[in-house]
Structure 1
Amino acid sequence: MRRAHTVEQVRESERALMATLPDGALMQRAAAGLAYAVLDLLGSAYGRRVLLLVGSGDNGGDTLYAGAMLARRGCAVEARLLSERVHEGGLAALRAAGGRVVSSTPSQGPASGARPGVARPEVVVDGIVGIGGRPGLRPDAVEALASVEGVPVVAVDVPSGVGVDSGELDGPHVEAAVTVTFGTHKIAHLVDPAAAACGVVHLVDIGLDLPEARVESLQPSDVARLLPRPDPQAHKYTRGVVGVRAGSPQYPGAGLLCVQGAATGLCGMVRYVGDGRLAERVRATHPDVVGEGRVQAWAVGSGGGEGAGDELKAAVADGVPVVVDADALTHVTGPLGVPAVLTPHAGELAAMAGADRADVEARPLAHALAAAARYDAAVLLKGRHTLVATPQGAVRVTTTGTPWLATAGAGDVLTGVIGSLLAAGLAPYDAASVGSWLHGAAATLAANDGPIVAGAVARAIPEVVRLVTWGH
């Protein structure tokens, strides 16, 4: 499990660890990890040009000590000091190793002992503000970044200017190629829109003893552990039966794709209940899908059109878990009274919450948590990094997937996959997060770096399950 901790959790853990270590040892661990990450990005050391943008506090200290290590390896290291107060030990180490302090920004004269920079850097290290910073940057930092626009940036802990605990952006911020973080991931590394500014995130273990995290991201081993597997004595009914109430004369394809997502082998049987002509098409396309009868979970709403409200009411009356999508979401006005997964995209959640879509996209974590509490359900908010939130405040972030997954019908397939996992016995939080992970991984596998259609995602689910389960 990839876990993301809050700033306060990290600071408490750092304080506890520092009490057991010699002064400065923790900073040296962080600086060494940062220096190696920069060297890995550069590919070599001697003669390579590195610019440090240095703010106050320990984040700046990590940057300066890393710069000293790079200078000793033969890099030409320059530092722009963006604060009158910087880490004195780190600055002394940088100068002793041959690093230089240069003018803070092109429009300013040099600070004490500073000289103008002599060459455009190959890498910029962002040590402007650390995890204690607030969203946005001061004008001097913005100007310093603008002077090296186009140069890859390595961010220290988080890109400066992002909301560390919220994943939100509010004003200018660093766009990093690589972010080197220490001890644990932070929420901004996983939750968009801040996560999109982090680039590749490299975690350096500095020995922190951390508490439980509120935000996490499933990894393949977690999915393998959570996936329902057939018992040796299993039959189709003991493996779970999912019912699908989706599609309509207006949107028949959505019903077919939802059935296709459900009929990927994750549970024992799929039942389809819907429009007569569409039911005939479902049976012709999926001869293993049967008609109305007893189920352990329902998938409702994909392409449901005008009848989605009635289908949702019928599903809820069954008293079994439901996954609710698309048109049926407009009929959810409060807790449904059964275990539930709601699967809105930003526009749908905005309509449910009476909010602006732009605000949902800017603050997805806050909106997903609020909706989960309001509807007493697991809320899956679709996006580049899909969020699954619970009423209790737990969140899982899906980091699998490909931009090619933004295609019509992909959400219908996801609804079917989650419904089958609910029928197989997973709780809503696990069904939604495992289903989302499988959906993203199947899209990546099926796309093979190219375009895909929704049906290809469904067809790739069994292969992803095999790879996760057996590793080959």
Structure 2
Amino acid sequence: MRTAHSVETVRTAERALMAELPPGTLMQRAAAGLAAACADLLGRRVYGARVTLLTGSGDNGGDALYAGARLARRGAGVTAVLTAPGRAHEGGLRALRAAGGRVVPADDGVRAVRRADLVVDGIVGIGGKGGLRPEAEALVLAAEDAGALIVAVDLPSGVDADTGEVRGAAVRADATVTFGAYKPGLLIDPAREYAGALRLVDIGLGPWLPAEPDVEAPQHADIARLLPYPAAESDKYRRGVIGIVAGSARYPGAAVLAVAGALSGGAGAVRYAGPAVDAVISRFPETLVTTGPPSKAGRVQAWVVGPGLGDGADARQALEDVLASDVPVLIDADGLRLLDPEAVRARAARTLITPHAGEAAVLLGVSREEVETQRLASVRALADRYGVTALLKGSTTLVADATGPVRANPTGTPWLATAGSGDVLSGLTGSLLAAGLPAIDAAAVGAYLHGLAARRLGTAPLTALGVAGALREVWRDVAEG
């Protein structure tokens, strides 16, 4: 599990650790890790490489200068460009000059940047807010135009470490070397796409960091531990039955896709209640079906309601019927448009909602742009306001309860932005709910497998049904490690 802590938490841990160490030890540990990462990116061909350091006034600039000194001692030609002359880290400057490095002001920096094989971004630290200043932006643009490798120190300058917001010009790094702990913004878009490949350098903060992070991103092993498996005495009912209320005369395909996802989600059986019975049975004859109300469909351990349901009286009645049940309920798509907040908050069993940014904007009464640029705050607000587990779909899918860490999904591909993929995700996640996973785990596992299935189909247009078809193979890959 990749775990991320807020800036204030990291700084508190750093202060506690520094009190136990000789002065400067922490910066030297960071610089050593940064220099090693730069050497790796240069392919170990450090001797003769041209490295340009973009250094500001904070500790990130000091880390860059000390790392530059290490690279210079290995034969690299290192030039430091000072974006804050007179406020650069004095010890770092002395170390760089002693190792044979050069120091130039920002006005002379563009030439050094354009000649560089590798550029180190130490302009702004983790406490930076807002975009780059114009003179720093010019240096970064020159590096991008020259095609140099760009390595960010702790996080790309111009992005918000705590929220993942990008409020102006920012560095787009090929790699980010972060120290002590991941910061939330490194795991969440839009900032995540600016960070490039992530490398965590252990500087000894572990004992001083709280056990509960702010954000966590599951990996293969974490998902494998959560996958439900039948026991020797299991039958289809003991494994869990998922109920699907989806589709309409206008959108029968939504029912088919939700059932397709559910059949790959770990539950023992799928019940379908709705008007698309013929379409569902013709595609998936193993489905248990009824045209009556959900409450008459038979026993289920969880419900999925909403995909393609429409907004008529029958749809409203079906949603009310499902919300009156005493089992977990996943609400998606049209179900979100019909949502009665009081009915959701009054439920004893867990409710999981799965909006995309547009639906979340309506639920929160804000603009879609605000949701997309403030994804972390938005998913937390959804969970808190409605008393639910919220899965906010998007370039970084996030899952949140009202308390505890937010889960950031590391899988997926832009090709998932296709009709019906959300219906598959709803069925898959609902099936995991029925199999007994808590809502936050079901949502995290569902998003992870769904994203992997899309990746399995490659960098080409895909279909929602194709994603559903890839889920079994992805499940096996994760389970087998």
SS in 1 for 2:144: coil
Question: Are 1:167 and 2:167 counterparts?
Answer: no
Q: State the Cα distance separating 1:430 from its structure 2 match.
A: 1.0
Question: Are 1:140 and 2:145 counterparts?
Answer: no
1:82 maps to 83
Aligned amino acid, residue 280 of structure 2: V
Structure 2 CA distance for partners of 1:334 and 1:436, relative to 1, 3 Å: same
Q: State the Cα distance separating 1:149 from its structure 2 match.
A: 3.2
Among 290, 304, 310, the residue aligned to 1:305: 310
- 8 Å Cα contact 1:105-1:144 kept in structure 2: no
Q: State the Cα distance separating 1:328 from its structure 2 match.
A: 0.7
1:457 maps to 467
Q: State the Cα distance separating 1:242 from its structure 2 match.
A: 0.3
Q: State the Cα distance separating 1:106 from its structure 2 match.
A: 4.3
Mapping of residues 31-430 of structure 1, within 5 Å: 31-43=31-43, 44-83=45-84, 84-106=86-108, 117=112, 120-150=115-145, 151-209=148-206, 210-211=209-210, 212-264=212-264, 266-275=266-275, 278-291=276-289, 292-307=297-312, 308-335=315-342, 336=344, 337=347, 338-430=349-441
Q: State the Cα distance separating 1:230 from its structure 2 match.
A: 1.1
Structure 2 CA distance for aligned equivalents of residues 183 and 282 of structure 1: 51
SS in 1 for 2:120: strand
- 8 Å Cα contact 2:449-2:474 kept in structure 1: yes
Structure 2 CA distance for aligned equivalents of residues 74 and 358 of structure 1: 48
Q: State the Cα distance separating 1:398 from its structure 2 match.
A: 0.4
- 8 Å Cα contact 2:81-2:109 kept in structure 1: no
- 8 Å Cα contact 2:2-2:219 kept in structure 1: yes
- 8 Å Cα contact 1:49-1:76 kept in structure 2: yes
Structure 2 CA distance for aligned equivalents of residues 159 and 122 of structure 1: 18
Structure 1 CA distance for aligned equivalents of residues 141 and 301 of structure 2: 57
Q: State the Cα distance separating 1:333 from its structure 2 match.
A: 3.4
Q: State the Cα distance separating 1:241 from its structure 2 match.
A: 0.3
SS in 2 for 1:124: strand
Structure 1 CA distance for aligned equivalents of residues 220 and 459 of structure 2: 20
- 8 Å Cα contact 2:52-2:113 kept in structure 1: no
Structure 2 CA distance for aligned equivalents of residues 346 and 271 of structure 1: 29
Q: State the Cα distance separating 1:145 from its structure 2 match.
A: 2.1
Structure 1 CA distance for aligned equivalents of residues 336 and 404 of structure 2: 21
- 8 Å Cα contact 2:252-2:279 kept in structure 1: no
- 8 Å Cα contact 2:81-2:106 kept in structure 1: yes
Q: State the Cα distance separating 1:181 from its structure 2 match.
A: 0.3
Structure 1: runs of 5 or more not aligned: 109-115
Structure 2 CA distance for aligned equivalents of residues 81 and 363 of structure 1: 32
* Comparing 317-326 and 137-146, the one that deviates more: 137-146
Structure 2 CA distance for aligned equivalents of residues 232 and 465 of structure 1: 20
Alignment TM-score, normalising by the size of structure 1: 0.94
Q: State the Cα distance separating 1:184 from its structure 2 match.
A: 1.1
For the aligned residues, what is the CA RMSD? 1.6
Structure 2 CA distance for partners of 1:201 and 1:107, relative to 1, 3 Å: closer
Q: Deviations over 1:436-460 (max 9, x none)?
A: 1111112112x13333211121122
Q: Deviations over 1:386-420 (max 9, x none)?
A: 01111125310001112222221110000000110
Structure 2 CA distance for aligned equivalents of residues 137 and 182 of structure 1: 22
- 8 Å Cα contact 1:55-1:81 kept in structure 2: yes
Structure 2 CA distance for aligned equivalents of residues 281 and 320 of structure 1: 27
Structure 2 CA distance for aligned equivalents of residues 81 and 68 of structure 1: 15
- 8 Å Cα contact 2:81-2:104 kept in structure 1: yes
Among 440, 444, 465, the residue aligned to 1:433: 444
Q: Deviations over 1:17-43 (max 9, x none)?
A: 222222222111111111111122222
Structure 2 CA distance for partners of 1:119 and 1:186, relative to 1, 3 Å: closer
Structure 2 CA distance for aligned equivalents of residues 294 and 121 of structure 1: 66
- 8 Å Cα contact 1:103-1:117 kept in structure 2: no
2:294 maps to none
Aligned amino acid, residue 3 of structure 1: T
Structure 2 CA distance for aligned equivalents of residues 265 and 106 of structure 1: 59
SS in 2 for 1:146: helix
Q: State the Cα distance separating 1:265 from its structure 2 match.
A: 5.0
Q: Deviations over 1:312-338 (max 9, x none)?
A: 111112221111110110122315113
- 8 Å Cα contact 1:178-1:199 kept in structure 2: yes
1:111 maps to none
* Comparing 374-383 and 35-44, the one that deviates more: 35-44
Alignment TM-score, normalising by the size of structure 2: 0.93
Structure 1 CA distance for aligned equivalents of residues 109 and 265 of structure 2: 64
Aligned amino acid, residue 471 of structure 2: I
Q: Percent identity?
A: 55
- 8 Å Cα contact 2:265-2:429 kept in structure 1: no
Runs of 4+ in structure 1 over 6 Å off: none
SS in 2 for 1:234: coil
Aligned amino acid, residue 326 of structure 1: A
Aligned amino acid, residue 241 of structure 1: V
Structure 1 CA distance for aligned equivalents of residues 156 and 112 of structure 2: 23
- 8 Å Cα contact 1:400-1:437 kept in structure 2: yes
Structure 2 CA distance for partners of 1:437 and 1:175, relative to 1, 3 Å: same
Structure 2 CA distance for partners of 1:173 and 1:117, relative to 1, 3 Å: closer
- 8 Å Cα contact 1:301-1:311 kept in structure 2: no
- 8 Å Cα contact 2:310-2:334 kept in structure 1: yes
Structure 1 CA distance for aligned equivalents of residues 351 and 114 of structure 2: 59
Structure 2 CA distance for aligned equivalents of residues 288 and 202 of structure 1: 46
Structure 2 CA distance for aligned equivalents of residues 260 and 72 of structure 1: 59
